[in-house]
Amino acid sequence: MPRVSADHMTATTTPTTAVKSAQKHIFDFSEGDRTMVDLLGGKGANLAEMTRLGLPVPPGFTITTEACRYYLEHGHGPEGLRSQLAEHVSRLESEMGRRLGDPEDPLLVSVRSGARFSMPGMMETVLNIGLNDASVAGLARMADDDHFAWDSYRRLIQMFGKTVLEIDGDEFEDALEQMKEKAGVTTDIDLPVESLRKLVDVYKSIVRDATGHEFPQDPYQQLDLAIRSVFHSWNTERARLYRRQERIPHTLGTAVNVQVMAFGNAGPGSGTGVAFTRDPGTGHSGVYGDYLADAQGEDVVAGIRNTLPLQDLEQLDATSYQQLMDIMGKLELHYRDLCDIEFTIERGKLWMLQTRVGKRTAAAAFRIAVQLVDEGVISMDEALMRVSGHQLSQLMFPRFAAGAADGRIAKGMNASPGAAVGRVVFDSPTAVKWAEGGQDVILVRRETNPDDLEGMIAATGILTSRGGKTSHAAVVARGMGKTAVCGAESLDVDTKTRQMIAPDGSVIKEGDVVSIDGSTGDVYLGEVPVVPSAVVTYFDSGLDAALDGADAETAELIRAVDRIMTRADQDRRLRVRANADTPEDAARARRMGAQGIGLLRTEHMFLGERKTYVERLILAESDEDRQAALDALLPLQRKDFIRILEAMDGLPVTIRLIDPPLHEFLPDLTELAVRVAVAEAKGESAEADLRLLQAVNRLHEQNPMLGLRGVRLGLVLPGLFALQVRAIAEAACFRQRMGGDPRAEIMIPLVGSIQELELVIDEAAGVLQEVADANGCTLKFPIGTMIELPRAALTAGQIAEAAEFFSFGTNDLTQTTWGFSRDDVEAAFFSAYLEKGVFGVSPFESIDREGVGELVRIAVKKGRAKRHNLHCGVCGEHGGDPESIHFFDEIGLDYVSCSPFRVPVARLEAGRAAITRHVARSDTR
């Protein structure tokens, strides 16, 4: 193991007197607070905050995220970091009266990551830095406990070997299991001291064999390598994957926290635990958490041993328990939210190791938000900001049908709610492979670790036989909104033979179907039927219908959702419409709270049996043939529009005139050519097919998405757009005669120039006037255009001279701005672009603010400069994306339009966007 050279970031020998640096790279816990989260990371900022509050926090310091970013960019630390580190270590030694590596009375420290956003288990932690062959004896004498000292030393080598030296962790685990077997014990805490000594020797040989070097005995080299390992862990594959999943920027970097060790493995009266100030699974108040006696912190989240409920600590150590309860209450009041707390008790002394605003399930988020309002802690607007559209969408997922579940084979802890059904897989690669093949899978493990992240993302649900509600599997699953059951101890999971055995002897092999209920912890063999969520019932049928027959917990959730949605609707400026093509979709969208239809795609009305009529129109060789095709289509279109206008009576319905790529309405060229060739080979007549083939050849396009479609098709095929406008006008007149209030809006697609738009508007205006005169009705329908080409966005001022509204088709605008063919590029290279960081998220999923978004901004500004009352909305898939909705609110769009099922999400996010905008404006005053 080579010593770290002087041009790296830290000293490798005993620190000397520090030299003052121009820039501060390290902060003592006593120097910061929680507002410095960007610089100190979440963990460092909150440790500083707890220190400021006077809570019992082991002393330490934080190396900033700026230092991490510099190190990752340059391969070494910034100027002054070495001397500042030496100064802070020296200060820590003076405060504690011990010295790092002292063979008589050693100071031991932990090194932990701490990014701006919580990334549980994604980066590295190393405990017991400072132990070596000499200081382990000093620690044993100082503690008067050989077992504690040697257990701490073997933990250091194991964690250091796995995280810093990148040795396969299974090598250490296998050695531990073999040593327990030789000693005749089942848990690591029962290993005798002599076995621990031997285990340390085995671990050191593993390090030597894997690296070619001895385990480092210099404590400052240990510290240096551990710090660098934390920096490097920011860019590990699992960390990058997690950030992509959670949409966390890759550019932030992580802070590093160096803290005096508090020992939960110091024998009787010691232990470690994780606590929440409220239940993160349900939101209910009460004592919630896990405790593990005679253990260090990583043991709890790793799920290596099943934990005790936090309430049991009261029987083991009433004083520490009461002190912890007092601190939990103080922290929740201070942070005004659910707090996640890590603590250690060392021989009866309570130490606080971390706090943060805790991750929670979607149901818990809504319940806690309104609870805090009722308790007078936060306002209703703050409650709205405590939930998200993503969480609301999770609540709308199906659940198991009441009374339909039988064949329960096990019960674990209800770690993350939901209903999940899938085929059992026992490792992450298989989960990914099967999921990519279209199968729903349940990832089954004894316990998960950060290396399982890919499989956890791919899986429908997660099942473990070890670990509690604060284990890695539980925390990560809750953060991702995945259903999870943890700690199902009665299941004997064997990942090597790829099977698990239930208590009744049933053998469940890989590929067998199981169902897991994350709300109850129940595990079933086979598929359990699912039913719609009660939250969907609330949106679809109203509050009373959702509450009818609901149990108390569900009723509480529905009322919380209702209160928050009511506030969102009061606060929001953006209106929310729906993309709907059928009367059924329109009716459901209205029930879901849609304030109109933002996109009715008329080409969808021509699919199926009607496709033949459009084919005849396109291939017509005479005016008579063309008119016959139009005459056949008119009554069908009129009936469609009557039904949709009826479903949305009194609300706007934006009807996009037909916009298909031409090939969608023509016979397949290859199939037709084969048919003609086969007929000719057989000597059969193929005159009709031959004429058809000639016509299709004439109209064939290499790139139909950029070919004869949209406004171009309407201009080239006489009568097509006029037919549709006539059908809309006659449907509106019929609805008026029936006492209705039809509010159609006619939208011209794929316009690139004002000249195209003017030609269609002139034709449409003539048809509208003709129908109005013939039927004695009033037709004042606005005619606008879909902005989906960069040229249209850049010439929006000209186009607004003719268009009465703009609707941004961000799907096609993204394609034409990036030069992408969506159907091709998503499969071809999007995964590589996400992997390499070209995209943080797919531009089809969330609006590309700098490119596509800027075009939208330009078009709105130019359009309204020409027509001040220009109505602007968006009807691409981005209309239902929470991130994009905030952008559309920011640039002043009037509405967003999305699928009916996403309407509630858009309503919620529109309310949140209004609050965000108001706060931003207040901050700039």
Task: Tell me how many degrees the CA angle 444-167-267 measures, rounded to the nearest 5.
Answer: 75
Q: Give residue-wise pLDDT tens across range 710-741.
A: 899 888 888 889 999 999 999 999 999 999 99
Nearest by Cα to 764 from 750, 782, 738: 782
- Give the dihedral sign, CA 242/246/252/258: negative
> Rounded distance, CA 701 to CA 697, Å?
9
Tokens matching residue 81: 């970091």
852 pLDDT above the threshold of 50 = yes
> Rounded distance, CA 479 to CA 467, Å?
17
AA letter at 451: D
Please name the residue that has the structure tokens 């917990």.
553
Beta bridge partners of 426: none
Q: Give residue-wise pLDDT tens across range 498-541.
A: 999 999 899 999 999 999 998 888 999 999 988 878 999 999 99
Please tell me the predicted confidence (pLDDT) of residue 340: 94
> Rounded distance, CA 616 to CA 422, Å?
46
Q: Give residue-wise pLDDT tens across range 380-411.
A: 999 999 999 989 988 987 778 766 667 789 99
Among 119-123, 218-222, 549-553, the range scoring the smallest mean pLDDT is 119-123
Q: Are 477 and 525 in contact (CB under 8 A)?
A: no
Average the pLDDT over 681-702 and give the result. Answer: 74
- Centre a 10 Å sphere on the Cβ of residue 588 and count the other Cβ atoms it contains: 19
Residues making up the chain, counted from first to last? 925
Q: Are 240 and 250 in contact (CB under 8 A)?
A: yes
Task: Tell me how many degrees the CA angle 335-339-345 measures, rounded to the nearest 5.
Answer: 120
Please tell me the predicted confidence (pLDDT) of residue 5: 34
Please tell me the predicted confidence (pLDDT) of residue 14: 42
Q: Are 15 and 84 in contact (CB under 8 A)?
A: no
Q: Provide CB contacts within 8 A for 156, sequence distance 6+.
A: 126, 127, 128, 129, 131, 222
Output the average pLDDT for the chain. 89
Please name the residue that has the structure tokens 């509010």.
743
Look at residue 489 and give its three-state secondary structure. coil
> Rounded distance, CA 441 to CA 561, Å?
30
The more confident residue out of 753 and 919 is 753
Q: Provide CB contacts within 8 A for 598, sequence distance 6+.
A: 577, 578, 579, 654, 807, 873, 874, 875, 879, 895, 896, 897, 898
Distances from the Cα of 295 to the Cα of 62, 148, 407, 743, 835, angstroms: 25, 10, 37, 68, 37
> Rounded distance, CA 805 to CA 800, Å?
8
The H-assigned helical ranges of 32-116 are 37-52, 65-74, 81-96
Look at residue 146 and give its three-state secondary structure. helix
Please tell me the predicted confidence (pLDDT) of residue 851: 97
Nearest by Cα to 598 from 844, 900, 867, 864: 900
828 pLDDT above the threshold of 80 = no
The H-assigned helical ranges of 481-582 are 534-541, 543-547, 552-571
Tokens matching residue 623: 């005016």
- Centre a 10 Å sphere on the Cβ of residue 735 and count the other Cβ atoms it contains: 21
Tokens matching residue 486: 């943890």
- Full strand arrangement of the beta sheet holding 499-501: 492-494, 499-501, 507-509
Please name the residue that has the structure tokens 């699919």.
607
> Rounded distance, CA 303 to CA 467, Å?
4
The H-assigned helical ranges of 77-134 are 81-96
Please tell me the predicted confidence (pLDDT) of residue 466: 86
Tokens matching residue 238: 């699992």
Beta bridge partners of 258: 61, 111
Helix/strand/coil percent split, the chain, to 5:
50, 15, 30
Beta bridge partners of 808: 787, 874
- Give the dihedral sign, CA 101/107/113/115: negative
Q: Give residue-wise pLDDT tens across range 560-597.
A: 999 999 999 999 999 999 999 889 889 999 999 999 99
DSSP class per residue in 513-530: EEEEETTTTEEEESPPPE
Tokens matching residue 852: 């596509």
Distances from the Cα of 552 to the Cα of 269, 519, 546, 549, angstroms: 40, 14, 12, 9
pTM, two decimals, is 0.80
Please tell me the predicted confidence (pLDDT) of residue 17: 41
Please tell me the predicted confidence (pLDDT) of residue 631: 87
Q: Give residue-wise pLDDT tens across range 328-346.
A: 999 999 999 999 999 999 9
AA letter at 478: R
Q: Which residues are catalytic?
A: 472, 875
Please tell me the predicted confidence (pLDDT) of residue 268: 87
> Rounded distance, CA 619 to CA 885, Å?
42
Average the pLDDT over 683-694 and give the result. Answer: 75
Task: Give residue 22's pLDDT band: very low, low, confident or very high (50, 70, 90).
Answer: low
Q: Are 179 and 195 in contact (CB under 8 A)?
A: yes
Q: Are 87 and 238 in contact (CB under 8 A)?
A: no
Task: Tell me how many degrees the CA angle 130-211-300 measures, rounded to the nearest 5.
Answer: 50
Q: Give residue-wise pLDDT tens across range 291-320.
A: 999 888 677 766 667 789 999 999 999 999
Please tell me the predicted confidence (pLDDT) of residue 407: 79
- Give the dihedral sign, CA 758/759/760/761: positive
Nearest by Cα to 113 from 13, 254, 232, 4: 254
Tokens matching residue 708: 């004869």
Q: Are 429 and 451 in contact (CB under 8 A)?
A: no
DSSP class per residue in 699-732: H--S-GGGSS-THHHHHHSTTHHHHHHHHHHHHH
Please tell me the predicted confidence (pLDDT) of residue 752: 95
Q: Are 869 and 558 in contact (CB under 8 A)?
A: no
Please tell me the predicted confidence (pLDDT) of residue 7: 37
Query: How many Cα atoms occupy the beta-carbon half-sphere of 49 within 13 Å?
Result: 21
% pLDDT > 70, the chain: 93
Please name the residue that has the structure tokens 């030069």.
819
> Rounded distance, CA 590 to CA 606, Å?
24
Q: Are 37 and 49 in contact (CB under 8 A)?
A: no
Q: Are 337 and 386 in contact (CB under 8 A)?
A: yes
AA letter at 221: Q
13 pLDDT above the threshold of 60 = no
Q: Are 747 and 786 in contact (CB under 8 A)?
A: yes
Q: Are 494 and 466 in contact (CB under 8 A)?
A: no
